[in-house]
């Protein structure tokens, strides 16, 4: 769904706008040309007119007519996902039921049950990542049920999200951050799982553009600056391979393409290297036109030719021909040493495989006809259905578990009879046991992996053969939750533990009943919630359990007050002095700190603390987050926790911006790597303390093999001062790299 504003019914450039809308509509029909059957054109026209009329008074934030959004979404569905006529109709109508006077009954009357069902699914999704977190998990469950019913709902939703990401410049900053975070958290992994690599990549890049604009611009500029030299290198690399393929009479395409900005940035962060040191900035792709029965053979022949020319890194070979990915992806990947000592990733696939890699699920359906290969997507949907049937969605854990279980890369493991089970990376023998059957999971005491005895927490690898050992005396315990990653296993273990907890908690009921009788208060659910809240427990069940196991003895109940049928816990008031003693997130935390940041439009000055996870300093791109119990915390937008907070708890995010205040210093750290030369440390400390007049809080130096690594904690006033310091240190002779790090 898109953000709407109502406008008057007249427009100065109405004719130009009408022409623009018609141009988009005709382009959509041209893109659909090969898929149109008799009568389809009329149906599409009806849908277009219905949507155009329904949205005629609406505009997007950019000011353009709203109908251009559904048209663009439909175009993405056709051109980039490969969907057909029915999906086009649904894309054109995807916002009508929610935002206009058109009802689901109108859609059903005009286009039938199937299309109405998909539009209904899209309408439900539009509320998914809003409101509160419990609601969010509940809505996400609805999406997944719709997904397993008709995956086109998710494919159209991905097209909708992609178009919103492409056209987000007119939105407010906090909205850009929230939408980008949701995209990285749920939609990009979902696109990846549906096999839509191009869409996944573009979503990640666009999200980075808004969440980490400086880094995004830096890498984009570097890619632009090195384009000519990269093109020359790719041409040199490809030339000998091309000759070999021509001699082998292959029908092929070969080209190089740069990796995405997001993946380059991830490599830089993971390996702690600069842009110049990321060895595989681009991949070379070979696409063969081979008949299906010869595909595998031809791909391996090409692999052989390439590795005759260039030396491969054996540990970097990925064979997704023999065992395709869960989302249908098939290819051979290898990394070889090219000219000038540079590593180059080469991807070998056929035209059919390339279609599946780019169009994912939609192409998978196209090629599935006439084959007896069991559809891996069907298996995946079946696994989701199983989990959803009894899934308790009272918490945001559901979203997190779903991501780990169903959106992660997968491994393939075998039962003793040779049946394949697909599990996410990081799955254990216990996950496998629950994948076989719940009854096997709850009785699991160990496993044999490749005929060797292993504990239940043993992490499995692709290709393992697993036999589960069970015992009738075994039952799950809470530690099991640390051994599993799949949603199914977690849910079943939690169910089992809850059942046992309920049995034990029964005894606590009588103790609590007696105490409440003494106070003259009934044992109602709200009273139990009040007591549980006082003891910082998450539910009345936990309260009764802790009473049974003598963890709490309820002696504090005498301080509670009773009014009518309700009891009220004593309120503990935290003073500002206590707050200051407990909080070390900023130096000299005083009332003055509140002048550093302005919230919202009204420039109200509010007390806040700086998040320990990312240690923001003035000038950093930040957002405020209202925590439960700890007030307002300030996080950097590239904080490790930012994506989770912004996407799951958007309603608690507060708009923030810095105000210059030179009186307050913030502690931050810089890591310096350089040649271990005489006097180099002296030069650095002279520069920091002497020339730049910056206070050093701590300094550690380690030297090894002619290199030194220095960690220096300094007090700076803002980001500009820190960047100035970093740039000045980089200019010193013998300095290899200078990077900021977050102090403990």
CATH code for the domain in which residue 726 is found: 3.30.70.260
Contact 51, 96 (CB under 8 A): yes
C-alpha torsion sign, points 424, 429, 431, 434: positive
Neighbours of 266 (CB within 10 A): 15
| Statement to judge: residues 24 and 102 lie in one domain | yes
Please write the tens of the pLDDT for every residue from 123-157: 766 554 443 444 445 555 555 655 556 678 888 88
End residue of a domain, out of 368, 391, 420: 368
End residue of a domain, out of 210, 238, 271: 210
| Statement to judge: residues 460 and 501 lie in one domain | no
Q: Rounding to the nearest 10 degrees, give the CA dihedral for residues 283, 284, 287, 293.
A: -80
| Statement to judge: residues 345 and 229 lie in one domain | yes
Name the pairing type of β-strands 343-350 and 282-288. Answer: parallel
The residue range of the domain holding 718 is: 666-741
Give the distance, in angstroms, between the CA of residue 348 and the centroid of all CA atoms in the same chain: 28
Please tell me the distance from the alpha carbon of residue 668 to that of residue 615, in angstroms, as a whole number: 7
| Statement to judge: residues 81 and 117 lie in one domain | yes
Query: Strand, helix or coil at 401?
Result: helix
Cβ burial 402-411 (10 Å sphere, 16+ → b, else e): bbbbbbbebb
| Statement to judge: residues 314 and 398 lie in one domain | no
Encoding tokens for residue 509?
């009921």
629 domain residue, yes or no: yes
**Is this prediction's pTM over 0.95?**
no
Please tell me the distance from the alpha carbon of residue 87 to that of residue 93, in angstroms, as a whole number: 10
Q: Give the residue numbers annotated as catalytic, written as ranges.
A: 98-99
Locus of tokens 């069970």: 470
List, for the chain, all residue ranges whose pLDDT scores fall below the cut of 70.
Answer: 1-13, 124-150, 278-280, 326-327, 361-409, 571-606, 629, 659-663, 743-744
DSSP 8-state assignment for residue 3: -
Encoding tokens for residue 313?
């890194």
Please tell me the distance from the alpha carbon of residue 422 to that of residue 424, in angstroms, as a whole number: 7
Q: How many residues does the chain have?
A: 744
Please tell me the distance from the alpha carbon of residue 122 to that of residue 142, in angstroms, as a whole number: 11
Please tell me the distance from the alpha carbon of residue 45 to that of residue 54, in angstroms, as a whole number: 14
pLDDT of residue 141: 57
| Statement to judge: residues 36 and 175 lie in one domain | yes
- Using a 10 angstrom Cβ sphere, with 0-12 exposed, 13-18 middle and 19 or more buried, the burial of residue 37 is exposed
215 domain residue, yes or no: no
Total domains in the chain come to 6
Closest CA to 301 of 255, 252, 353, 233: 252
End residue of a domain, out of 494, 509, 543: 494
682's enclosing H/E stretch is helix 680-685
Q: What is the per-residue DSSP string for 548-612?
A: HTTS---GGGGG-EEETTEEEPPPPPPPHHHHHHH--SSTT--GGGGGGEEETTTTB----EE-T
CATH code for the domain in which residue 168 is found: 1.10.3210.10
CATH code for the domain in which residue 448 is found: 3.10.20.30
| Statement to judge: residues 390 and 462 lie in one domain | yes
| Statement to judge: residues 356 and 403 lie in one domain | no
Closest CA to 681 of 696, 668, 693: 696
| Statement to judge: residues 225 and 315 lie in one domain | yes
| Statement to judge: residues 563 and 620 lie in one domain | no
Please write the tens of the pLDDT for every residue from 36-80: 888 889 999 999 999 888 888 888 877 888 899 999 999 999 988
| Statement to judge: residues 490 and 500 lie in one domain | no
Please tell me the distance from the alpha carbon of residue 137 to that of residue 153, in angstroms, as a whole number: 18
398 domain residue, yes or no: yes
227 domain residue, yes or no: yes
Encoding tokens for residue 351?
């035209």
463 domain residue, yes or no: yes
| Statement to judge: residues 382 and 358 lie in one domain | no
Q: What is the per-residue DSSP string for 613-680?
A: TT---TTS-EEEEE-SSS-EEEEETTSTTHHHHHHH-GGGEE-EEE---TT--EEEEEEEEEE--TTH
């Amino acid at each position: 769904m898109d953000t709407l504003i109502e406008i008057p019914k007249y427009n100065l450039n109405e004719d130009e706008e009408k022409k623009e809308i018609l141009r988009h509509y005709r382009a959509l029909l041209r893109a659909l040309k090969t898929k149109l059957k008799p009568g389809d054109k009329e149906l599409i026209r009806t849908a277009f007119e219905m949507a155009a009329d329904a949205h005629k008074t609406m505009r997007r934030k950019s000011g353009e007519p709203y109908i251009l959004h559904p048209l663009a979404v439909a175009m993405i569905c056709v051109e980039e996902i490969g969907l057909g006529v029915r999906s086009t109709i649904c894309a054109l109508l995807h916002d009508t039921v929610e935002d206009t006077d058109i009802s689901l009954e109108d859609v059903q009357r005009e286009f039938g049950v199937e299309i109405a069902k998909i539009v209904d699914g899209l309408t439900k999704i539009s509320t998914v990542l809003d409101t509160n977190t419990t609601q969010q998990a509940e809505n996400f469950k609805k999406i997944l049920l719709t997904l397993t019913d008709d995956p086109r709902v998710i494919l159209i939703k991905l097209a909708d999200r992609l178009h919103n990401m492409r056209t987000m410049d007119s939105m407010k900053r906090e909205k850009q951050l929230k939408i980008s975070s949701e995209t990285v958290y749920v939609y990009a992994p979902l696109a990846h799982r549906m096999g839509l690599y191009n869409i996944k990549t573009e979503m990640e890049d666009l999200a980075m553009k808004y969440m980490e604009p400086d880094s995004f611009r830096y890498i984009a500029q570097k890619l632009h600056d090195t384009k000519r030299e990269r093109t020359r290198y790719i041409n040199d690399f490809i030339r000998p391979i091309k000759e070999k393929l021509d001699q082998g009479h292959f029908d092929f395409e070969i080209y190089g393409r740069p990796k995405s900005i997001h993946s380059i940035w991830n490599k830089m962060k993971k390996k702690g290297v600069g842009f110049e040191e990321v060895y595989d900035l681009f991949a070379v792709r070979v696409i063969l036109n081979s008949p299906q029965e010869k595909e595998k053979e031809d791909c391996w022949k090409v692999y052989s030719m390439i590795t005759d020319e260039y030396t491969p890194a054996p540990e970097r070979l990925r064979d997704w021909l023999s065992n395709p990915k869960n989302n249908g992806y098939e290819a051979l990947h290898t990394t070889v040493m090219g000219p000038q000592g540079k590593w180059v990733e080469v991807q070998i696939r056929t035209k059919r495989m390339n279609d599946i890699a780019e169009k994912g699920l939609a192409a998978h359906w196209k090629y599935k006809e006439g084959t007896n290969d069991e559809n891996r997507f069907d298996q995946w949907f079946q696994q989701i259905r199983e989990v959803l049937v009894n899934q308790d969605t009272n918490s945001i854990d559901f979203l997190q578990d779903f991501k780990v279980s169903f959106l992660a890369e997968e491994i393939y493991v075998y039962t003793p009879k040779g049946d394949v089970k697909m599990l996410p990376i990081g799955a254990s023998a216990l996950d496998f046991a629950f994948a076989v059957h719940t009854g096997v999971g709850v009785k699991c005491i160990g496993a044999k992996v490749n005929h060797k005895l292993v504990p239940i927490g043993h992490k499995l690898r692709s290709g393992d053969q697993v036999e589960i050992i069970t015992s009738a005396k075994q039952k799950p315990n809470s530690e099991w939750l640390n051994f599993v990653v799949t949603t199914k296993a977690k849910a079943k273990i939690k169910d089992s533990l809850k059942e046992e907890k309920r049995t034990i908690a029964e005894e606590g009921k009588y103790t609590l009943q007696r105490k409440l009788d003494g106070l003259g208060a009934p044992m109602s659910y709200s009273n139990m919630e009040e007591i549980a809240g006082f003891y910082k427990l998450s539910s009345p069940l936990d309260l009764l359990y802790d009473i049974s196991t003598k963890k709490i003895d309820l002696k504090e109940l005498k301080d509670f007050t009773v009014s009518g049928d309700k009891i009220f816990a004593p309120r503990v008031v935290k003073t500002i002095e206590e707050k200051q003693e407990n909080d070390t997130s900023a130096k000299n935390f005083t009332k003055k700190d509140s002048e550093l940041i302005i919230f919202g439009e009204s420039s109200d000055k509010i007390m806040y603390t700086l998040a320990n996870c990312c240690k923001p300093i003035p000038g950093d791109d930040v957002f405020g987050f209202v925590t439960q119990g700890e007030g307002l915390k300030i996080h950097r937008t590239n904080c490790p926790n930012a994506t989770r907070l912004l996407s799951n708890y958007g309603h608690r995010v507060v708009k923030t911006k810095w105000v210059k205040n030179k009186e307050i210093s913030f502690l931050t750290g810089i890591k310096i790597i350089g040649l271990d030369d005489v006097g180099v440390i002296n030069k650095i400390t002279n520069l920091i303390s002497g020339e730049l007049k910056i206070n050093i809080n701590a300094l550690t130096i380690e030297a090894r093999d002619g290199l030194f690594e220095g960690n220096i904690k300094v007090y700076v006033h803002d980001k500009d001062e820190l960047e100035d310091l970093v740039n000045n240190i980089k200019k010193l002779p013998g300095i290899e790299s200078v990077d900021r790090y977050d102090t403990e």
